[in-house]
Amino acid sequence: MDADKNPFELSVEVQLAALRLANSEEGWGITEEVFARLAETAPEWPKGRLAFRSLRIRWGEGDEGVAKTFEAHAKRIKKVFGGKFWRWDYLLSGKHSYNKKPVVRLRLLNGNNTHRPTVEWITFDLNANPWRWSITAVRGPRSLADELFVFTWMFPDYVRDINHMRNPAPFAGGYELNVPEHGSELWQHVPCVDWSHDGAWVGLIASCQSNNSSSYSVPILRE
């Protein structure tokens, strides 16, 4: 058996079928022209045991687009995993009240002004940066943000096989999360996808950007 072969590899046809199902069930409005373009432009499956071909799917622009995109994928994850889903109460998007004032909760590390509607292929290594001083030390312009949550609903078998050893839980280092309830310093948290083997549920959670646990990776886009 090839040690570098990804056991979670999916064909283009299977991936597009998953997107088509999501599009139908969620009412996303992705057109046949887009599906045809994706079928024609799909990159080869990348090399590496935890290298993946997936999609970036975004709606809207700016602050509203960031929130809309995150919530759409969180909703899809909940649909795919059914009752086996948990989301941290403070993993919020858009503006939510704190001390009776509206507070922005989630933003892109690259700036919300970079957010544009798109459906396009991406490739990345899910095993990137497990050994680090902190998330801050390794995150950058190519860190995954909403792309990680597309991956979560498209590759549920990987999520269910997260074991914090060979299959790490990934951080969305391309996001910054504001949790004023947990201290006065803002934008210190980073969203993460994890799996509880005890409860058999997927968790949309977050941790401080100082997290240095090798059980978690900080994946980046491949060029």
Q: Quick: pLDDT tens for 66-106.
A: 999 999 999 999 999 998 999 999 999 998 888 788 889 99
Residue with tokens 């993993």: 91
- The per-residue pLDDT for 2 is 66
Confidence (pTM): 0.95
Give the Cα separation of 184 and 163 in Å (integer).
33
Q: Quick: pLDDT tens for 30-43.
A: 999 999 999 999 99
Q: β-strand 106-108 against 175-177: which pairing, if any?
A: antiparallel
Q: Quick: pLDDT tens for 106-153.
A: 999 999 999 999 999 999 999 999 899 999 999 999 999 999 999 999
Contacts of residue 144, defined as CB under 8 A and 6 or more positions apart, other chains included, come to 124, 151, 170, 172, 173, 174, 219, 220, 221
Residue 12 backbone phi and psi in degrees, to 5: -55, -40
Give the Cα separation of 182 and 161 in Å (integer).
30
CA 199 to chain centre: 21
- The per-residue pLDDT for 220 is 95
